[in-house]
Chains A and B, each alone.
Chain A
Amino acid sequence: MSSRGVLLPAHHYLSDFGAASWLLTRDHKRVALMYLAAVTFFFFLGGAFAVLIRLELITPAGDLVSADTYNKLFTMHGVMMVFFFLIPAIPTVLGNFLIPIMIGAKDLAFPKLNLASLYIYVIGASCTTYAIITGGLDTGWTFYTPFSTASSTTAVIPAAVGIFITGFSSILTGLNFIVTIHRMRAPGMTWFRMPLFVWSHYATSLIMVLGTPVLAITLLMVAAERLFRFGLFDPALGGDPVLFQHLFWFYSHPAVYIMVLPAMGVISELVAAFCRKPVFGYTFVAFASLAIAVLGFLVWGHHMYVAGQSVYAALVFSFLSFMVAVPSAIKVFNWTATMYRGSISWDTPMLYAIGFIGLFTVGGLTGLFLAAVGLDVHVTDTYFIVAHFHYIMVGGTIMAYLGGLHYWWPKMSGRTYNELLARVSAAMVFFGFNLTFFPQFLLGYLGMPRRYHAYPDEFQVLNVLSSAGASLLGVGYLIPMVYLAWSLRYGKLVGSNPWGAVGLEWTISSPPPTENFAETPIVTWDAYEYATRVEGHVA
């Protein structure tokens, strides 16, 4: 990726500097960058809570913080990470930036709605942050009733209102993507020529639009019961606590796929670009995204095998959960097959992609433990499940997010980062992650329940290992902050296509012009046509 004598384009989307040009922008790329700043803030805020959790768990006794504080810490870690980082991160940053460019459009279908979704997100996130500063929240991110409606004395309503508001941002983003992908594709950009990143965002958007309203209603019901003692969930008022769980997981299980499907889309792009090869089984990978989105709506009951639902309901949900394993396996096998006879570079984004495939495989396979009803009974609500979902969300989503950020960073900024530091930190993230979360599988099978402030002595060694891994992981996340920020000013300028990748985003300048394409491109080729389209990619 040598690029001597490259100059910044005379005109690009970052050229104007005025505050108003940012705050009132309708450019999807600028909205994406503002989202990048916002979700990065919440990522490190959520991470700070995780640091305190891991510090507390170094010793068996609850001695660093009080029990109430600990309960607030894990709640706020979960709320921040799930609602304000993992769900929005890839769609609003990478999706916003890339979807219009990848399909040859000049912007999203509704640029103002896109900006509005950012403001709604910021308002919602601020509301929940306010709740956290003023009283905290101790219900767990799951808000289980009747604890959240009748027992907790913390700021449940402000926190729920914040999440409720943020939901609209998610819905608007999903709507915008769906309409954009249907209506704004450039001539010749047929559905089956679209990059898989776009397919996976299309599937994600369907979940955002269909699922989020259910969460919103559920949180309103919690607020109504807390404020007005509506007897919806509390049996003392004639309600049913399990009803809450059905409603909550009807959104929150599909929400897992809101986090994972975009990550899978990123991985498809990375594997293709760094193997310089079409993704093996393109149509299977594309339809697997849709299958996961649809099946994802039918498996919520697997969170409730021990919650008091009927034996037969548990069996149906178990069966359907196993069905989700099939499209997930298809994707993993196809990415692996894509590498066969590729021209594989070991640049940082590919390291993240390889890490993703490995960790997602472990995360997915341990999901089978949890889908198997008779085994789930023992491991649910323990550290086994904590380990499993961190393998999917941290090992999956965050690895993909970082891989994608490194891949498209030269496009977004026009500059490149320090490759050595980037590779070192990618390795730290991978090893730190495994050291943090692998011991938690063992802890879970041993029987250590989750959300425990203090624990029996025999669990200490594994907890210490986990905390040690977390410190490595934390540093691994901080280093990219430094060199990416540094690269904005001092990074080497790159041309339009530093990776030698195909895809419309690599045909325009880095950073791209505000209108993306001076002339609407006419697409006459399939995605990832490397062998036939080796145009002069190295500047």
Chain B
Amino acid sequence: MLTDFPLFPESASTMAPRVDGLYFFLVGLTVFFSLLIAGLIVTFAIKYRRLTPDSVGARFHGGMALEVVWSVIPLGITLVIFAWGASVFFAMSSPPDEAINVYVVGKQWMWKFQHLNGQREVNELHVPVGRPVKLIMTSEDVIHDLFVPAFRVKADVLPGRYTHVWFEATKPGSYHLFCAEYCGTQHSGMGGQVVALGPSEYQNWLASATGGSMASAGERLFADMACNTCHREGEVGRGPVLNGLFGSTVRLQGGRTVVVDEAYLRESIVNPSSRLTEGFQPVMPAYQGLLTEEGLSELVEYIKSLEPAQPVTLSMASTPGGSERTAQ
């Protein structure tokens, strides 16, 4: 026990040194001000200790200069920390475009991972070293939180929507994966490992997949659910054309626009009328509760895989005659 007694976590992602840098700055600041205050208090308490029972303290009430100094200095320091923390957070919130996507479903009390090639795992996540990985996460029941201390990343996993976290592992190894949002009986058992593999080991591990990719599973589901009744390939049906939709900007009913991402696709399947594409009737049924989270993510991947059929259907906003169908 005493031989394995860390006081500082392993640092195994590109984000870890950035977070640690801010941490050490703040530790330094805390030590400095704590010692300053403690030193002053103890010094004063000794130096000005009461020597005769009736003595009173010196009579002075304050000093504007000092008040200004100790208001402005903390203000300046906090602004530096704010900006530093914000820049780290921006980096954490901006997954690189080339990130490998992995879908994550949390449920009481396990983590399910689904890789794009169809590989699935539970409570263990294999990722490559040296490549950014973006987790697209949701929950089947209550709020969970995916936390990998060695990577210094964490994000709540919510039912009914996608949240993201991304990281780039820097050294091979096996790292703790925790649920960090209290979720009931086995909360402390809802964990596992993130296994970071070198590039060739990762390729070997991927190759062990059986079965088809998520997109192909999504394609079968698309046909099974008869989605193509309305979402036809290459021509506008009762629903928008899905080819090339992912990543495009869509005009919504009421004039707002949205960039199509995984979250918007998921929402448009489970609750299509919440952000309806301009020019279409709210005729699509809500699939809330009719599809599993795995099925939803497969459909999302299938839709993402659809290449633009013709340039003209790139986005509904540019469809000629779109306004003619606008009818309330």
Query: Which residues of A are interface residues toward B (Cβ below 8 A)?
Result: 62, 67-68, 71, 138, 140, 144, 146-147, 150-152, 234-236, 240-242, 275-278, 280-284, 305-308, 311, 314-315, 318-319, 322-323, 325-326, 329-330, 332-334, 336-337, 339-346, 350, 354, 357-358, 361-362, 365-366, 368-369, 371-378, 380-382, 442, 445-447, 449-458, 460-461, 500, 530-532, 534, 538
Contacts and interface: CB of A to CB of B under 8 A. Distances in A.
A500 B57 CA distance: 12
Interface stretch (B176-184, B199-207, B254-262, B295-303): B176-184
Interface of B: 1-2, 4-9, 18-19, 22-23, 26, 29-30, 33-34, 37-38, 40-42, 44-45, 48-50, 53-63, 66-67, 70-71, 74-75, 78-79, 81-82, 84-93, 108, 141-143, 145, 147, 149-150, 152-156, 158-161, 163, 176, 178-189, 288-289
A315 to B, nearest CB: 5
B325 to A, nearest CB: 28
A50 B5 CA distance: 25
B29 to A, nearest CB: 7
B182 A140 contact: yes
Contacts of A447: 9, 147, 149-150, 176, 178
Contact of B84 (A146, A307, A374): A374
A449 B295 CA distance: 31
Contacts of A315: 86, 89
A445 B149 CA distance: 8
B154 A377 contact: yes
Given A241-B159, A343-B57, A345-B50, A330 B71 contact: yes
6 contacts: A146-B141, A236-B159, A282-B62, A307-B158, A354-B45, A378-B19
Contacts of A357: 37, 41
Given A372-B26, A377-B152, A380-B154, A365 B59 contact: no
Contact of B183 (A147, A341, A368): A147
Nearest to B91: A374
A278 to B, nearest CB: 5
Given A71-B187, A442-B7, A452-B187, A340 B82 contact: no
A447 B23 CA distance: 14
B158 A282 contact: no
Contacts of B61: 278, 280-282
A534 B85 contact: no
B65 to A, nearest CB: 11
A144 B181 contact: yes
A277 B58 contact: yes
A314 B160 CA distance: 21
A268 to B, nearest CB: 13
Given A308-B156, A342-B44, A354-B45, A446 B6 contact: yes
Contacts of B155: 306, 308, 377
Nearest to A374: B88
Contact of A458 (B6, B22, B56, B181): B6
Given A530-B56, A538-B54, A374 B188 contact: no
B218 to A, nearest CB: 22
A461 B152 contact: no
Nearest to A329: B74
B34 A308 contact: no
A446 B175 CA distance: 12
B149 A343 contact: no
B81 A372 contact: yes
A365 B182 contact: no
B142 A151 contact: yes
A295 B156 CA distance: 26
Contacts of A144: 142-143, 181-182
Contact of B189 (A284, A318, A381, A454): A454
Contact of B49 (A278, A334, A346, A453): A346
Contact of B160 (A235, A282, A362): A235
A151 B74 contact: no
Nearest to B163: A308
Given A372-B81, A530-B59, A235 B161 contact: yes
Contact of A306 (B156, B187, B288): B156
Contacts of A323: 78
A314 B89 contact: yes
A373 B86 contact: yes
A326 B156 contact: no
Contacts of A449: 147, 178-180, 188
Contacts of A366: 30
A204 to B, nearest CB: 22
Contact of A342 (B48, B84, B187, B288): B48
A378 B57 contact: no
Nearest to B44: A339
Contacts of B42: 354
A307 B156 contact: yes
Given A339-B45, A375-B22, A365 B55 contact: no
Contacts of B1: 457, 460-461
Nearest to A244: B143
B23 to A, nearest CB: 6
Contacts of B55: 276, 343
Contacts of B288: 236
Nearest to A281: B62
Nearest to B69: A333
A451 B2 contact: no
B108 A236 contact: no
Contact of A318 (B44, B86, B153): B86
